[in-house]
Amino acid sequence: MKPKASVIVPCWNVQQWVEDAIRSVLGGTFCDFEIVAVDDGSTDATGAILDRMASADARVRVVHQTNRGLCGARNSGLDAARGEFVFFLDGDDTFAPDFLALGVGEMERTGADFCIFPFAVTELGQSKPRLEPLKDDYNLDSQEAIRTRLLPKFIGYSMDHVRRWYGGVPLFAGREMAGVWRCVYRRDLVERWHIRFDENVRLYEDSLFNSEYLLRARKTACRRESVYNYVLHEGGLIAGRKTTVRVFRNKLAMLRARRRLDEIAGGAVGWMFAASCVFSMLEMFALLRTVPIGWAEGRRIVREYAADPAVRAAVRAFPLSWRKPHVALAVIALRVFGAGFVYSLAWTLFAPRRIASPRNRQGGAPTPSTS
């Protein structure tokens, strides 16, 4: 018999945490589930731990594969899943005991296609988790309401976000963390439209998956219980993914993915991420302070990004304000001189500092992104 729920667990070199992650599901209050654990080419003992746990409990199935990244691991899990409802758990986090029960119960009670929960964040060195509550009520019963009230929370920044930012409202204030691990999905909808993670995108892939899924959903629900424990620590699943080079290259992949979403929506959602196009371009220039990328490759990426019609239109439409003079000057320079000139100027200003800094030669810390 098919299980009611499938929990997809992508795993890459998480031997310190993966057993706790799996046991948090096995020890929960809901029993009708399967765990599809994907060993994504781990080089530590992760695969052996998963095999041992699968041999001890038939609800655990393991997929071993060569390394394809987080998106590829999740996609393999979706291909293997059999449950009516789909949950995601990163291999270094944990579920609360009642997550599956609450998620399945809410989906069945409301007939929703999607359900989102608050979550808790435990940072390295802190014993008490920080609660991240929902920012709105997402009990929505029409595609129009979903596109108006929920989709913009995930897909990107609009020009309205920029205007509110100029008025003192933080950019992220109205947005939701797009983590798929805090949400519940109907597998038949995922399979009907063959919704998968874009394996060309290495950062912010959750926002794309959620956005495409919500374009197909007709009803959504939410709960106020915090049911997912998101752990921030060095060496976990996310560590190493947000290097500056990947952030730089990811901008172009994100642009292509967002343009595809706009095509799916018949051109109805491009305005929702128009400001993100401008922010991403400006961030590429800023990343030249630290990014270990060559002149030619960096210029190629910037020029291709800037040549996109949606990006050109966004640069022209981007509102300016004296409250953010550096942003205003950069956008004016783009309008007057073009991306090639701004890139050359940024390289001239930042490259000597980047080359001279020992920390930057080692890669440095990831730069926060406004993608």
Taking only the tens place, the pLDDT of each residue in 348-365 is 887 655 544 444 333 333
Arithmetic mean of pLDDT over the chain: 91
Residue 242 has pLDDT above 80, yes or no: no
Beta bridge partners of 230: 121
Residues 28-51 have a mean pLDDT of 98
Token digits of residue 265 = 């929506």
pLDDT at residue 191, as a whole number: 98
pLDDT at residue 354, as a whole number: 52
Q: Which helix (H) or strand (E) holds 292?
A: none
Token digits of residue 122 = 């435990």
Task: Give the end-to-end CA distance of the chain in Å, rounded to a whole number.
Answer: 42
Token digits of residue 371 = 């993608």
- Integer angstrom CA distances of residue 227 from 12, 93, 106, 110, 257: 23, 11, 13, 19, 30
DSSP state, 140? B
Q: Phi and psi dihedrals of 34, rounded to 5?
A: -125, 150
pTM, two decimal places? 0.92
Task: List Cβ<8 Å contacts ≥24 apart for 351-360.
Answer: 351/288, 353/289, 354/288, 354/289, 354/290, 354/291, 354/292, 357/290, 360/289, 360/290, 360/292
Residue 238 has pLDDT above 90, yes or no: no
Beta bridge partners of 222: 116
Residue 367 has pLDDT above 60, yes or no: no
The band of 370, judged by pLDDT with boundaries at 50, 70 and 90, is low
pLDDT at residue 363, as a whole number: 35
244 versus 298: the higher-pLDDT residue is 298
Instruction: List domains and CATH numbers for the chain.
Output: 5-134+176-232 (3.90.550.10), 244-361 (no CATH)
- Integer angstrom CA distances of residue 140 from 99, 327, 344: 21, 36, 48
Q: Are 339 and 305 in contact (CB under 8 A)?
A: yes
The band of 84, judged by pLDDT with boundaries at 50, 70 and 90, is very high
Model confidence pLDDT, tens digit, residues 284-297: 998 888 777 888 88
pLDDT at residue 124, as a whole number: 72
pLDDT at residue 268, as a whole number: 96
